[in-house]
Amino acid sequence: MKRKICLSFLFYALFCVCGSLRALGEKILVVGGGAGWDAAVIRQGVAETLSVRPVPVMALEAGGGRGLSRGQDAAGLDLALGFDEGRPDLFSDRAGRYLVTADSTVSAVTQRWARAGTGAARFAGSASGNILAAAADAGPLVISPLMPQALLSPERRIGDFTLEFWLNGENMENGEQVLLWSSTRLTADNRHSVQRIQASVSRNRIQWAFQDFFADPQDRNRLSLSFSGITPLTPRTWTHHLIRFDSGAGFLEYLVDGRTEGVVYATSSGREGGEVFTPITGLGSRLVLGNRFSGIIDEFRLYSSFVEDSPLQRYPRNGGRMETRFLDLGEGNSEIIRIEARGGRITYPAGKTSGRERVISSASGSGTFSFPDDSAIRFFARTSETPFPPNPGDIPWTPFEPGADLKNVRGRYLQLSAEFYPSGDGETTPYLEELRVVYLPDDPPRPPSVLAAVPQDGAVELSWNDSADRDTAGYLIYYGNSKGDFFGDDAILGVSPINVGKRNSVRIEGLSNGVLYYFAVSAYDRANPVHMGEFSREVSARPLRMVK
C-alpha cells in the first residue's frame, strides 16, 4: 500500500514538474492593451476608442464610418456634415458642394457624446440677432452653396429631396430654433419675397414651416406649408429626424425615429391629386444651424432623392471585422498554446442617451464573448511560416474560444481576426481591450550527449546519446583536421557535415591514418524550415593502420 502511495506521489510530482517546465518555456505576445492596436492593419466598421477604458479598445464604429447602418450614403447625396473633424473651424461638407462656417459659440464634442463617427457639433443656445439677419449673414453655423450643382444654389427648381439629422436637445424649450434656411425671390408684381424653411421647438416637438417654398410649374402660384411632430421629444436623448418630398405625388413627409409624424401635400388641392407644386430657390440662399438652440446635432445630410430607409441603428447590422498582420513569434513551428482575450460591451442604459455609456466587462481572459443582448465577438487565427504568404486566401482560419487550449496550431507567423456583432437593437457594441497569445517557441533541439570516438584503420566509429527533444528528426556529423574547424572533405560519406538521419552511431570511413580528426554532432528537428541545434562537445580521434 505504501509503495502505491509513493508511486502515485512520484507521478504527481513528475506531472507538476513537467507542467512547470512547460510553463517556464511559454512566451506571451500582447496585441492591444498597453501595446496598442498598430498590428490591426485591417479595420472594417471597427475603430479604436479611448472613452471606455484607460487604454484604447477596439469596438464597432457608430455608423460604420459612412453613415448609420446604411453601408453607404443614399443616392443623390448633396450635403454631408459628420462633424468628425475635431474643431469647428475644420467642419466641412464631405460632398464638397457647400461652404461651412462656424462661430465661437459652436464646439466640437468627442466620440463619447456623438451619435455616429468620432464627433458632433454642440450649440450653446445663443442667438445671432434677428432671424433674417442670422439666415443672411451670420449664425452659429452657416452653410452656403459653392456651386450650381448644389441643391440649394440660387434660382433652382428642385424635384425629390430628403433632409435628415440626429438631434440631442439639452432642454427642448419653446422657441429654440434647430435650423433656418432662407432666400429672396421676386414676386410677379416685382416685389421681394422672403422664402424660409424653419424647424423650431414648440411644446417639446419640432414645428416645421415652409414659407413661399413650393411653386406651380409656371411659377405663378406659391404655397406655404406647416405642420408639427406628434411625439414629445425627451431632452438629452438622441432622435432621428427626416423630411422627404416626393415630387411625383407632391407629398411632404416628416419622420422621427422612423415613425411618420406628419404628412402634407404640396398640390393645388391640398391633398393627393391635383397639380403638384415643387420647390424653387431664390437668391442669397443660406442655411443656418443651431441659432437659439442648446444641444448637439450630428450626421446632417441633404439628398436630391427620396430616401426610403433611414439609418436608425447606432451600429451597423452586419457588424465589423478586424485583422492583424502576420505576427512574428520568432521561431518556425512555434506551438500556440492558447489565446486569451479581455473585453466586454458598451451599452446605453437610457437607450439612446449620449455620453452615458456603461462598460460591462463580463468577458475577461477566457470564455465566450456572446452577451445576453446578442452582441458578440467571434475570434479566428491562422499561421504561416512566412510573413507574406503568396496565397493567403488558401490558408484557412481556425475559430477559437478565448482561454481554451488549442491543438495543432503551429507556425512562426500568426494572424488574428475578430468579428464584432451589435446587439439586436443595434444600440450596444462589444469591445475588445486586449489579446494575449501564449505560445511555445519551437527552439532548436538540444545537442546529443556522451559523444564518443573510437579510432580504426582509415575510419572512426562515432556514437552518442539521443537528443532529449522529442521532435528530433536526425543528426549532422561535423568533422575536420583542426580543433573547432569542421571543413573536412575526405570521408566516403561526404563532406562535412554528414546527414546520418535518426541514428546514434556511425562509422566514418575514408579518413587518413595518422591524422588527428575532430568531431561534433548536432541535431535538427521536423520544422519547415528545420531548426539546426548547437554542436555537442567536441571529441577527437586519430585513425591508425592495423598491424598484423
65-95 exposure pattern, b = at least 16 Cβ within 10 A, e = fewer: bbbbbbeebbebbbbbbbbbbeebeebbbbb
Record the pTM.
0.63
**CA–CA separation, 84 and 232 (whole Å):** 29
150 Cα distance to chain centroid: 33
Question: 47 pLDDT exceeds 50?
Answer: yes
Question: 128 pLDDT exceeds 80?
Answer: no
pLDDT for the residue 358: 65
Question: 507 pLDDT exceeds 60?
Answer: yes
157 or 131, higher pLDDT: 157
- Which helix (H) or strand (E) segment is 136 a member of? helix 131-136
In this prediction, residue 460 has a pLDDT band, given cuts at 50, 70 and 90, of very high
Query: pLDDT tens-digit profile of 472-483?
Result: 999 999 999 999
Which one is the CATH code of 25-54+319-440: 3.30.70, 2.60.40, 2.60.120, 2.30.30?
2.60.120
Beta strands in 497-536 (DSSP E): 498-501, 505-509, 517-525
SS3 10: helix
Phi and psi dihedrals of 11, rounded to 5? -65, -40
Mention every residue, 6+ apart, whose C-beta is less than 8 A from residue 400.
339, 379, 380, 381, 406
DSSP string, 439-450: EE--PPPPPPEE
**CA–CA separation, 39 and 419 (whole Å):** 16
What count of other Cβ atoms lies within 10 Å of the Cβ of residue 200? 21
**CA–CA separation, 290 and 83 (whole Å):** 14
Rounded mean pLDDT, 82-87: 93
What count of other Cβ atoms lies within 10 Å of the Cβ of residue 365? 12
Question: 19 pLDDT exceeds 60?
Answer: no
**CA–CA separation, 236 and 109 (whole Å):** 14
Mean residue pLDDT across the chain: 87
Q: What's the farthest any 2 CA atoms get from each other in the chain? A: 139
CA torsion sign for 480, 486, 487, 490 is positive
In this structure, CATH architecture of domain 449-541: Sandwich (2.60)
> Are 208 and 228 within 8 A, CB to CB?
yes
Question: 97 pLDDT exceeds 90?
Answer: yes
**CA–CA separation, 179 and 131 (whole Å):** 11
**CA–CA separation, 88 and 247 (whole Å):** 35
Question: 71 pLDDT exceeds 80?
Answer: no
Q: Do domains 25-54+319-440 and 77-303 have the same CATH topology?
A: yes
Mention every residue, 6+ apart, whose C-beta is less than 8 A from residue 144.
98, 99, 101, 285, 286, 287
**Grid cell digits, residue 335:** 506551438
Percent of the chain with pLDDT over 90: 65
**Grid cell digits, residue 136:** 443672411
Helix-strand-coil percent breakdown of the chain, rounded to 5? 10, 45, 45
**CA–CA separation, 289 and 167 (whole Å):** 11
141 or 372, higher pLDDT: 141
Q: CB-side exposure of 177: number of CA atoms within 13 Å?
A: 25
SS (H, E, C) 201-232: EECCEEEEEEEEEEECCCCCCEEEEEEECCCC
- From the list 99, 101, 81, 97, the residue with the least C-alpha distance to 89 is 101
Question: 257 pLDDT exceeds 50?
Answer: yes
- From the list 45, 41, 40, the residue with the least C-alpha distance to 319 is 45
Rounded mean pLDDT, 92-110: 95
pLDDT for the residue 68: 42
Cis peptide before 497 (omega within 30 of 0): yes
Mention every residue, 6+ apart, whose C-beta is less than 8 A from residue 426.
69, 312, 313, 314, 315, 316, 317
153-179 exposure pattern, b = at least 16 Cβ within 10 A, e = fewer: beebebebbbbbbbbbbbebeeebbbb
pLDDT for the residue 17: 40
> Are 83 and 166 within 8 A, CB to CB?
no
Beta strands in 446-497 (DSSP E): 449-456, 459-465, 472-480
Phi and psi dihedrals of 10, rounded to 5? -65, -45
Query: pLDDT tens-digit profile of 335-373?
Result: 999 999 999 988 865 444 444 556 666 666 677 899 888
Question: 159 pLDDT exceeds 90?
Answer: yes
Question: 65 pLDDT exceeds 80?
Answer: no
Which one is the CATH code of 77-303: 1.20.1530.20, 3.40.50.720, 2.60.120.200, 1.10.150.240?
2.60.120.200
Find residue 364's DSSP bridge partners. 342, 366
pLDDT for the residue 75: 79
Question: 78 pLDDT exceeds 60?
Answer: yes
Domain chopping of the chain, boundaries: 25-54+319-440, 77-303, 449-541
